[in-house]
Amino acid sequence: MLNQINVFYPPEVPLMNDYLLGHSSAELERLKFQANILSPITTRLLIESGLEEGMHVLDLGSGPGDVAILAGRLVGPTGSVTGIDRSPKAVELANFRAAEAGLRNVRFEVCDIQDFQSASPFDCVVGRYVMIHQSDPVAFLRKAASLVKNGGTLALHEVFMSDIPMESFPNIPLLTDAGQLIAAAFNTGGVHHGTAVHLIKHFSEAGLPQPELFCQRHIGGGEHSFMYHWVAETLKTVYPHLISIGRVSADPEYLETFEDRLKAEAVASRVQIMGPNQITAWVRL
């Protein structure tokens, strides 16, 4: 069972692609669910990069606010977190959630990364699953680094989506097929899934020091694994794009029954599922 954790340049360079996953209410709910899965890894990144009480943080591509809220708890009332996102709906939800959590030190605003300016640089600039959506990762890194104060840190949590982002042992064709569909959607939808395995190169080309790196991977199976829901909801999100490019036909029944069928096959075969590689990088500037 998933534990609940309480705890995206130059202005002329177009940084953010059209966001494949959209900002529908269903997608924002999926992101909140996913955030609980990713939270321990992001927490480790923030702590290892030196985030502490009293610091001032900028969260790039903040979505429904999970990373900013997590950082807000770590920096405490003497620190602050500003989250920016292009989606007014996401920002409205994030501000509501921060207020609901009693975090007066966390706020969100509608802004594109390339347009963001601040009178004062930040102790830490952070982003999760943001760099993979950048058409020019080097320009993105330069812009992000320009917002960090002297001695501050830039910390990124990215994901490596290979052609088969989730593996099962023994193999379940249903999961393999779904993983290939998700990868196809990302490959044709402007998601640069290989970015996470070229971070040393990108940081170097941006003129930044070599980052500290670590990688973690979720593993699950059995009756109560969150893996089935994670795959099913991601597949639902990208399915309209797959229909638009002619990769699949509309099939509501396939989507509605997918999670139950995947779970039944996995439990019956006593399968172990391995999720995509979560790769993080941080650097002190």
Query: How much is the pTM?
Result: 0.88
Torsion of CA 164, 165, 166, 167, to 10 degrees: 40
Report the percent of the chain where pLDDT is more than 90: 80
Q: Which two tokens stand for residue 223?
A: 């009756």
CATH classification of 25-284 is 3.40.50.150, yes or no? yes
pLDDT of residue 191: 82
- Residue 31's pLDDT band, with cuts at 50, 70 and 90, is confident
pLDDT of residue 162: 78
Name which of 97, 118, 104, 111 is nearest 75 in CA terms: 104
pLDDT of residue 25: 72
User: Which has the minimum average pLDDT: 10-19, 45-54, 195-204, 241-250?
Assistant: 10-19
Report the percent of the chain where pLDDT is more than 70: 92
Query: How many whole angstroms separate alpha carbon 211 and alpha carbon 255?
Result: 40
What pLDDT digit, counting tens, does each position of 68-96 carry? 999 999 999 999 999 999 999 999 999 99
Q: What are phi and psi of 230, to 5 degrees?
A: -60, -50
pLDDT exceeds cutoff 50 at 3: no
User: Which has the minimum average pLDDT: 29-33, 90-94, 102-106, 274-278?
Assistant: 29-33
DSSP β-ladder status, 56-60 and 80-85: parallel
Give strand ranges (E) for 9-114.
56-60, 80-85, 106-110
What pLDDT digit, counting tens, does each position of 159-212 carry? 998 777 899 999 999 999 999 999 999 888 778 878 999 999 999 999 999 999
